[in-house]
Chains A and B, each alone.
Chain A
Amino acid sequence: MRTRCRLVLFFLTVGACGLGAQSPPSSPPTNTCLDCHLIFEDDEHLGVPAQLFAGDIHAARGLTCAACHGGDPREEDSDKSMDPAKGFIGVPKRADIPRLCAHCHSDAVFMRSYNPRLRTDQLAQYGTSVHGQRLRRGDTRVAVCSDCHGIHDIRPASATLSRVHPLRLPQTCAGCHSDREHMKGYEIPTDQWDEYRASVHYRTLAGGDLAAPTCATCHGNHGAAPPGVASVERVCGTCHVFQEQLFDQSPHKQPWDMMELASCLTCHGNHGIQPTGDFLVGTGEEAFCINCHLEGDGGWETAEKIHAALVGLDSALADAAGLLDQAERAGMDVGEARLVQANARESLIKARVDVHAFNAARVEETVESGLELAAEAHQAGEAALDELAFRRKGLGLSLLAIAFVVFSLWLLIRHIERGKEEIIYKHEQ
């Protein structure tokens, strides 16, 4: 069995290399395969692949069907073009696909002539992935190259129609991983896609930030595997750098390593990760701290302090913002105060990062600077409202003056008209 496989591969190698040795052609190569296969029109196995191939990156780069299927695309006679003697293999076996693709894609010299930026270590990576390891053990239900990249309509990952484009990748993974029937026997959950779809990461992605994490960001792509307890922190830390650094120095680091708790995941979860909030830290009902810490221990006290500091700054900021809004609605200029307010908010954001050091003094220090700024913004808001009160006073005074004018004019009219004889209306034109 194994020898025959090697034999096929040998032929493939010969056939493909025959093509591969050519430099990228300037005019489209002869591809007689399509002449016949397009006649099959919508036949799922014989016609559709030929149609799809038009959109394939390999077709665009001048490769023909023979690159994967072998045979001779220059022969008009189908017996000759699909002659096994010329390396024709028909439909490649699933188990052979990674090596088939890798034959070119792992050949750095060859790939350089097409796309020097493309990596050539996919097969090596694949070998380390759960998919690759299982395939090696004979499980052909695992993903091979074509399951993620497509078969006859492979596009570069940057193309929006590509199955591995960031916006489409999660669904591609979910095609198998959310299929309970397919995943039967693997003993891993099938709700990752549903969870991920509700996560803050997905919402950011769907909002157009293609740098937001998809499945592959944490699990890897060709080398797809669960990150494992030990490296969760490193995975999250690729983006959440400060949180990782702080956590490494925190008092939690050592005991959690000992208990094999998956650092970030323990509080934030994984696929369904939600936006954080100040309620996560502290001793409230939703706080994570109370899962381990008991009232009276040092951690409980720290959690309470951290929570109080964050909430304190948050509400001070809300107060100041409300005051500034009020003043702004009344037409007051609070531009300077808005800048101060933004700086105070920055302190709160930093303090929320500082939480990951689990050191109350550190959070309180950051919060303190924020509180000072918030107080400054608050004062500016009050000053603006005082100015408003001043306007009202000014208005009151002018209205008083106006009232006196009206009153004295009325007196004047009475004074002038008193005792005057009534005039009879007479208009001269």
Chain B
Amino acid sequence: MTSALEQLRVWLEERFGHGLGDAIRKKQVPRHRHSLWYYLGGMTLFLFLIQVVTGILLLLYYRPSPGEAFESVQFIMTKVQFGWLIRGLHAWAANLLILVAMLHMFSAFFLKAYRKPRELTWITGCLLFFIFLGFGFSGYLLPWNELAFFATKVGTEMMAAVPFIGEWLLTVFRGGEEVTGATLTRFFGFHVAVFPALTTLVLGIHLFLVQQLGMSVPPSVERAHRQSGQPLRAHPFFPGFLLRDLIGWYIALGILAALAALDPWELGVKADPFVPTPAGIKPEWYFLFLFQTLKVIPARLLWIEGEQLAVMLFGVVALLWVLVPFLDRNPEGRSGRVFTAVGAVAVAYIIGMTVWAW
């Protein structure tokens, strides 16, 4: 048995070279009191793979037209064997994915993992997060139920507030002036083609960089070890770290299965563009803080419209967030502390607004 595996390894190395095997064998993951955060990246990757698999499975039955979208999801959930499970996994994992990606991003932020030379890792990570939000937003509409329909209507309306190109953007995303079947077709295209392609590219770069640069050791840990003179311990990536990852993934799978089976994702009622917007339309939880900000911002501030201001603000904040590695000139000094404080305020703001809007 072992020799057969060994033969396979040799066979492969003769063709691929030793690079990959060596890299895996030599790869180490540092061990310290913040090591736990290292697992979030792998967890995000695992949840993304679940999305890929369940998403492809759903594609076998889903039909992206307003006349059939709702019915086909209903068909999947009621007629197809284990359809309820696959759709439930896809819906639940989508939410967990955003949550874990968020935690991964904030942990990287607070542990200053974006410092030189990992600026590009941070930027690609941020881009991945935005793409995931795009996945969530476009996927939400696909079952073509009332809640999703109106949430999309409200959500895309925000695009109109983008300066200069707002109207154009709105028309491009909606495939017309209103949210219609054309919007569904477009969102489907984004969800299963555009975003996956982008993710493949950006994720590839992200993973390559992680592999190339190794794990970042938080400055506080580095400092402590420098001062005490004790060397930093490590896990070999293979098998120690990977096995631990595997444990995490299995647990995540268990949680997902339990959520999908015990709290099935509801389908709601089919969207009807001709009924008035029902009260209490809310976007997915991860957009709630944006939604709430839009609500509290005054309708007009000086010469600029509130909605326009908010959208520009979101844009600027997102851009600054992506550019953090270049703005934080001295992550281990004063500027680093300022950024930590700003990040804490941002987290407090997001949590506060989300709870308020709930």
Contact = CB atoms under 8 A, between A and B. Distances in A.
Is there direct touching of A and B in the complex, by C-beta distance under 8 Å?
Answer: yes
A327 to B, nearest CB: 10
Q: What is the predominant secondary structure among interface residues of chain B facing chain A? A: helix
Given A424-B232, A428-B26, A429-B213, A410 B261 contact: no
Contacts of A399: 254, 257-258
A392 B26 CA distance: 44
A412 interface: yes
B264 A330 contact: yes
A394 B84 CA distance: 13
A416 B239 contact: yes
A331 B257 contact: no
Contacts, number: 80
Q: How large is the interface on B (under 10, 10 to 19, 20 to 34, 35 or more residues)?
A: 35 or more
B340 to A, nearest CB: 24
A422 to B, nearest CB: 5
B77 interface: yes
B261 A391 contact: yes
Given A402-B251, A406-B251, A413-B243, A395 B261 contact: yes
Contact of B28 (A403, A409, A427): A427
A423 interface: yes
Interface string B212-233: 1111010000000000000111
A333 B78 contact: yes
A416 B240 contact: yes
A186 interface: no
Contact of B240 (A391, A405, A417): A417
A398 interface: yes
Contacts of B212: 429
Contacts of B77: 331, 333
Interface in B243-296: 243-244, 246-247, 250-251, 253-254, 257-258, 261-262, 264, 266-267
A423 B264 contact: no
B300 interface: no
B250 A395 contact: no
B235 interface: yes
Interface string B297-316: 00000000000000000000
Contacts of A130: none
A426 interface: yes
B30 interface: yes
Contacts of B246: 409
Given A330-B264, A333-B78, A333-B79, A425 B232 contact: yes
B297 to A, nearest CB: 37
B251 A331 contact: no
A4 interface: no
Contacts of A425: 28, 30-31, 217, 231-234
A330 B261 CA distance: 9
A412 B243 contact: yes
A402 B240 CA distance: 19
Given A331-B84, A392-B261, A429 B232 contact: no
Contact of A426 (B28, B85, B213, B254): B28
Contact of A395 (B231, B240, B257): B257
A424 B231 contact: yes
Interface in A113-135: none
Given A423-B28, A425-B231, A425-B234, A332 B78 contact: yes
Interface string B79-92: 10000110010000
Contacts of A417: 240
B134 interface: no
B262 A329 contact: no
Contacts of A423: 28, 233-236
Contacts of B267: 331
A302 B165 CA distance: 76
Contacts of A422: 233
B159 to A, nearest CB: 33
Contacts of A394: 261
Given A402-B254, A406-B247, A406-B250, A426 B261 contact: no
Contact of B78 (A331, A406, A413, A426): A331
Given A413-B243, A416-B239, A425-B30, A329 B266 contact: yes
Given A331-B84, A412-B243, A422-B233, A402 B261 contact: no
A10 B215 CA distance: 114
Nearest to A403: B254
Contacts of B26: 428
B266 A424 contact: no
Contacts of A392: 261-262
Nearest to B212: A429
Given A329-B266, A333-B77, A422-B233, 17 more contacts: A330-B264, A331-B84, A331-B88, A331-B264, A333-B78, A392-B261, A399-B258, A402-B257, A406-B250, A406-B251, A413-B239, A416-B243, A423-B28, A424-B231, A425-B232, A427-B215, A428-B26
20 contacts: A331-B77, A331-B78, A333-B77, A391-B84, A391-B85, A392-B261, A392-B262, A395-B257, A395-B261, A402-B250, A402-B251, A403-B254, A409-B247, A409-B250, A412-B243, A422-B233, A423-B234, A424-B231, A425-B31, A429-B212
